[in-house]
Each structure stands twice: as structure tokens, then as C-alpha cells.
Amino acid sequence: MGATHLPATEFDGTGVDDQREAEAEALLGGPAEPMVQLLAPDGTLGTDPVFSEYAQRLDAEKLRGFYADMAKIRRFDVEATALQRQGQLALWVPLTGQEAAQIGSGRASQPQDYIFPTYREHGVALTRNVDLAELLRQFRGVSNGGWNPKDTNFHLYTLVLAAQTPHAVGYAMGIQRDQKLAARAAEADGAAGVPAEPKAAVVVYFGDGASSEGDVHESMVFASSYNAPVVFFCQNNHWAISVPSSVQTRIPLSNRAKGYGFPGIRVDGNDVIAVHAVTEWALERAREGKGPVLIEAFTYRVGAHTTADDPTKYRESAEEGLWRAKDPLERLEKYLRTEGLADDAFFDRVRADGDELAAYVRKTTHDLETPDIRTAFANTYVEAHPLVAEELAWFEEYSAGFAEEAGPADAETGDAR
């Protein structure tokens, strides 16, 4: 695979992959929808007829917050990678390069919205106030989840690709029904003065690789059929492990939405301001009952798919270089400095906060306790189940036998195994 055939910049107008761009245009019967970008790689802020209005809602504090979040999650990513290399985690899924896509979209959601992530949405988790140390439970091998989604409206990671997309649509259909039930109840009670629950929507994340899964298609059909308040957020990071996005699609993924009958928008996924604007627009639209939107955040996974992956086997370092030049943190830093919205002291503080977070995560990971397998017995079913009870009883008896063998001293410590 030569560098000129790399799909790193497909459809982005740089001419690196003119052949594919021309092919896509021919398939679409015209040029693809332009990509929404507000903050250019050189740190200058552009305009957009629709989305500049949303960008104008962002004050200096919010912009500094975006930067702090992105820096924090990148530092977390470095720490988690190190923990995996030290044997403290079974696996890690790095997000470096995708910070803007995640922080921008996550910060656009409201507390009442419900988020269905895939397994790389550490940045979105940060915006939903999930304890990042809890995020590592799954990778440490002490839980298949690790946090209670009810606390933050941030669902558990899903490892089966795209399986969470129909869940999101179903959840959104539930929101629709809640609104109808509430309206009926209010009518019955004559409680016109009671403030209504804030309107909610759902965001579901998936990648360009997952976009090939049937569940994404079925979810979009359902979402469209029932006009569900759901935002499909595809992070096109260009690689499904070793298979490029060119194998997943011949046209920009965002264009698929037209086939389902709802808007699709391609946004520069390394531009946190544009991602935030587009997601806020889509969520407001969904909450107002105008139906689903597909957002394709055009970004890049700078590192490996997971710590078990080796990108040198399937892509050129030149491609990574192209994307490093579009780094989401650097471009926002340039903007903040140029506009005088942040100074050295701010960036020093962000760095210190990142190190503090890393230290917390490192310590907490080391301290995570191995669960008792009895919790798995307890949580297989909600209601009592005779087979589980029988096998647990056998396990207890079996374990007790080891305690007797070990002698009274060990038995007293409760170390039955």
C-alpha cells in the first residue's frame, strides 16, 4: 500500500486521494456535503451559516473547559496505556486523536440525555462525570461494567460492535412514550402548573468499522420509522483495527443518513467547537421531536486500536503525521492564546491537573479489589434461580473443603481458596 493510496484524507479536499473523491462524487451524483469546520488547524475561527450561531454560545470559560477536558483525557489515556504495559490492565483502548470528537459531543449533552458508548468513549465518560478509575474496572478484569449507568446516564461499554445502537433507539422510543404518559397524567390531574420534566434525547456512539454491522442499519430504520429522539454519533477514525474505512464505505458515511430519511452531517472531528455546535444542534432538534440525526465526526485514531494492535503492519507513519498536524488540542491552544483567552498559567494548571488525575487513577487501579465470584452467582438472574442456587451451594461446600484442609489458621482469615 503506497502513501498516495492511503485513505487518511479521503474527501477532505486536499487532493491526496482524488480518485476516491471523484468516485464518491460519481456515486452520489454530485459532490458530498461539505464538512463542517469552525476552528482550522492553524487556530483561526471560521464561520458557518448554521453552526456559527452555536459556536457563539461558547464563552471563554467553556472553551478553556474544553481544552482542560481534552488535555485531561489525553493524560488519562497515556496513564492507562502505561498501566497496561506494566501488566496492571489486560487491555487498553487508546483514544488519542479523538479528544475533540468526544469532548465536543459529550459537553453538548444535557444531564437528562442518555448516552450509549461503544468502548473507546473515555472522553465522553469524563463529560458525564463517570469516575475514570471506574472505567478501568473492565480493563483490569474485575468487572464487565464498572459503574452504575443510572448515576450519570452514561451506559456501560459494549464490546459487541454496534449492539448498543438498537438499545439507544429503543431507549429513545421510551423517552417518547414517557412524554406521552406524562402529558396524559398531567391532563388527568389537571396539573397544568406542574413543571414538565426536561425533554431528553439519546446519543449513541459507534465507529466507521461498526457502521458495516447490520445493527446500525436496523437501528437507523427503526429511528426513522418512529422519529426517535436519537443522535447517531459515528467517530470515523479511519481504521477498523487494520481495515481502512475505504473498505467500509465508498461514500462519506454521513451521506447514508439520506437513505434513511434524516439529516447526516460530516463534521471535522478534530475541531471541538464544530463538534460541539453540530451535536448541540442535533440534540436540540431531537428533543424538540424532529427526529434522528447522523453525525460523522471525521477524525483519526493516532495510536493503535488497542494495546494488542500493531499499526505499523498496516499503515504508513506518513499518514499518522498528516493527522498529527490536525491535532485537536494544539489548534484550540493556538486559538486560546491568539485570542488572549488563556495564558501559560492556565496551561500549567491543566498539566498539573492531568498529572494529579493520573496519580489518582494509578493508585486506584492498584487498589481495585478482585471481586468474589459469589457476586457473579448473585447477578446472573434478578429473581431466584434453582440451578444457580444449586451450583452456588456446591461451590460453597467445595470451597469449605479447602478451608478445612488449610487448617484453622488459614480458615480464620477466611481464605477459603
Partner 1 sequence: MTTMTIAKAINEGLRATLGGNPRSLLMGEDIGALGGVYRVSDGLLAEFGADRVVDTPLAESGIIGTAIGLSLRGYLPVCEIQFDGFVFPGFNQITTQLAKMHSRSNGNLTVPVVIRIPYGGGIGSIEHHSESPEALFAHTAGLRIITPSNPHDAYWMIQQAVDCQDPVIVFEPKRRYWLKGEVDMESPGASADPFKAHVLREGTDATVVVYGPLVPVALAAANAAAEDGHSVEVIDLRSISPIDFDTVTASVQKTGRLIVAHEAPTFGGIGGEIAARISERAFHSLEAPVIRVGGFHMPYPVAKVEEDYLPDIDRILEALERALSY
Q: Can you give the binding site for partner 1, defined by CB under 8 A?
A: 143-145, 148-150, 155-156, 158, 160, 163, 165-175, 177-178, 180-181, 214-215, 218-219, 221-222, 225, 375-376, 378-383, 385-387
Q: With H, G, I as helix, E, B as strand and everything else as coil, classify residue 295.
A: strand
Q: How far is the CB of 258 from partner 1 (least distance, A)?
A: 18
> For 255-385, where are the alpha helices, taking DSSP H only?
256-260, 272-287, 317-324, 328-338, 344-367, 374-379
Shorter beta-carbon distance to partner 1: residue 179 or 246: 179
Shorter beta-carbon distance to partner 1: residue 166 or 252: 166
Shorter beta-carbon distance to partner 1: residue 26 or 160: 160
Shorter beta-carbon distance to partner 1: residue 64 or 155: 155
Q: How far is the CB of 165 from partner 1 (least distance, A)?
A: 7
HEC per residue, 187-240: HHHCCCCCCCCCCCCEEEEEECCHHHCHHHHHHHHHHHHCCCCEEEEEEECCEE
Q: How far is the CB of 116 from partner 1 (least distance, A)?
A: 8
The torsion angles phi and psi of 104, rounded to 5 degrees, stand at -60, -45
Nearest Cα residue to 203 out of 135, 324, 306, 286: 286
Q: How far is the CB of 190 from partner 1 (least distance, A)?
A: 19
Give the other-Cβ count within 10 Å of 346's Cβ.
16
CA distances in angstroms from 161 to 24, 55, 171, 173, listed in the order given:
26, 32, 18, 21
By CB atoms closer than 10 A (0-12, 13-18, 19+), residue 177 is: exposed
Shorter beta-carbon distance to partner 1: residue 155 or 362: 155
Shorter beta-carbon distance to partner 1: residue 347 or 377: 377
Q: How far is the CB of 230 from partner 1 (least distance, A)?
A: 9
CA distance 78 to 61: 26
Shorter beta-carbon distance to partner 1: residue 49 or 214: 214
Q: How far is the CB of 252 from partner 1 (least distance, A)?
A: 24
Shorter beta-carbon distance to partner 1: residue 134 or 319: 134
Q: How far is the CB of 144 from partner 1 (least distance, A)?
A: 4
Q: Which residue has the cell 406521552?
A: 180
Q: How far is the CB of 406 from partner 1 (least distance, A)?
A: 28
Q: Which residues contact 275 (CB under 8 A, 6 or more apart)?
A: 100, 101, 104, 105, 108, 267, 268, 269, 295, 297
CA distances in angstroms from 49 to 54, 129, 257, 354, listed in the order given:
10, 33, 21, 36
H or E, element range at 114: strand 114-116
The grid coordinates of residue 204 equal 449513541
H or E, element range at 402: helix 386-406
The grid coordinates of residue 411 equal 480458615
Shorter beta-carbon distance to partner 1: residue 5 or 385: 385
Q: How far is the CB of 350 from partner 1 (least distance, A)?
A: 33
